């Protein structure tokens, strides 16, 4: 795994974060050292898919990056006939995702799409994954994406939504931010790396509160939401279609 040192040298102006080749090259290391719980969430996606994936349906991995979530689901649901639709608008990610997944899964069950997830029709889905992706969409477009996912899910299907959160209580919010930064320090990032990454991503990743996510999921049509994971300000929810 190539080490992420993209923000280790002081920059005069820190450019907005983008999912380009340089990021894609170090992405597994970046995710592991930056997202508290990422290494727990990925295998659990497979466990949850064992419960909800339905035979002869589709699994959508929206904002698939390098395909870690798809691979986890595939490993736990081999006995089912599932078609995987992996979507990302970063060609750097999709290119690497394709070569990884093709080594581990039958190519006949795989479709990789390099496009905006807002342009993708969702059909015959039993599991839809939005693993740390919705936060990168303009907030005013998020409800319409969730409505599109809801209408394309079969009855009994689920959306798994993982996100960075903010908290309405400024004290709690600050605590979560401090703890998250300590997590990054503990994983070897310097204060310079932490502050430059923060400056780079703050206009690109717009977090919502847990309550906004829950309300929006219900407004999109989902029957129930369950928060099944939280580590500091990083959380994952299941939204169930009745």
Ligand X SMILES: C[S@@+](CC[C@H](N)C(=O)[O-])C[C@H]1O[C@@H](n2cnc3c(N)ncnc32)[C@H](O)[C@@H]1O
The site for ligand X (CB under 6 A) is made up of 19, 31, 63-65, 68-69, 87-90, 93, 116-117, 131-133, 136-137
Query: How do beta strands 82-88 and 110-114 pair?
Result: parallel
Residue 109 has a CB neighbour count (10 Å cut-off) of: 14
- 123 membership: H or E segment, kind and range: none
Residue number, 136 or 229, with CB nearest to ligand X: 136
Q: Are the CB atoms for 184 and 34 separated by under 8 Å?
A: yes
Query: Minimum distance between the CB of residue 238 and ligand X, rounded to whole angstroms?
Result: 15
Query: Minimum distance between the CB of residue 69 and ligand X, rounded to whole angstroms?
Result: 4
Residue number, 20 or 55, with CB nearest to ligand X: 20
Helix (H, G, I), strand (E, B) or coil at 30: helix
The Cα–Cα gap between 224 and 130 comes to: 17
Q: Which residue is nearest to ligand X (CB)?
A: 63
Torsion angle (degrees, nearest 10) of CA 1, 35, 153, 49: 60
Residue number, 138 or 242, with CB nearest to ligand X: 138
Q: Are the CB atoms for 161 and 217 separated by under 8 Å?
A: yes
How many residues are given for the chain?
Answer: 242
Residue number, 137 or 220, with CB nearest to ligand X: 137
Residue number, 63 or 157, with CB nearest to ligand X: 63
Query: Minimum distance between the CB of residue 25 and ligand X, rounded to whole angstroms?
Result: 13
Phi, psi of 75, rounded to the nearest 5 degrees: -60, -30
Query: Minimum distance between the CB of residue 12 and ligand X, rounded to whole angstroms?
Result: 26
* Residues facing residue 18 across a β-bridge: none
Query: Minimum distance between the CB of residue 185 and ligand X, rounded to whole angstroms?
Result: 21
Query: Minimum distance between the CB of residue 85 and ligand X, rounded to whole angstroms?
Result: 12
Residue number, 134 or 210, with CB nearest to ligand X: 134
């Amino acid at each position: 795994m190539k080490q992420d040192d993209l923000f280790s040298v002081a920059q005069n102006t820190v450019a907005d974060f983008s999912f380009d080749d340089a990021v894609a090259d170090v992405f597994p290391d970046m995710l592991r050292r930056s997202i508290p719980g990422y290494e727990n969430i990925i295998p659990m996606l497979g466990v949850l898919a064992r419960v909800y994936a339905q035979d002869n349906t589709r699994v959508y991995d929206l904002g698939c990056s390098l395909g870690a979530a798809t691979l986890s689901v595939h490993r736990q649901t081999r006995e089912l006939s599932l078609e995987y639709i992996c979507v990302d608008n970063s060609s750097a990610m999709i290119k690497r995702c394709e070569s990884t997944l093709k080594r581990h899964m039958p190519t006949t069950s795989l479709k990789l799409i390099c496009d905006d997830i807002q342009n993708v029709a969702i059909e015959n889905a039993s599991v839809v994954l939005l693993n740390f992706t919705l936060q990168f969409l303009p907030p005013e477009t998020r409800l319409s994406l969730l409505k599109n996912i809801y209408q394309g899910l079969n009855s009994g299907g689920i959306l798994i939504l993982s996100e960075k959160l903010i908290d309405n209580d400024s004290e709690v919010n600050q605590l979560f931010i401090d703890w998250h930064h300590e997590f990054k320090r503990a994983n070897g990032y310097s204060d310079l790396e932490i502050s430059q990454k923060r400056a780079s991503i703050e206009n690109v990743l717009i977090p919502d509160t847990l309550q906004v996510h829950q309300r929006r999921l219900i407004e999109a049509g989902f029957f129930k939401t369950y928060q099944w994971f939280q580590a500091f300000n990083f959380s994952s929810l299941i939204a169930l279609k009745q």
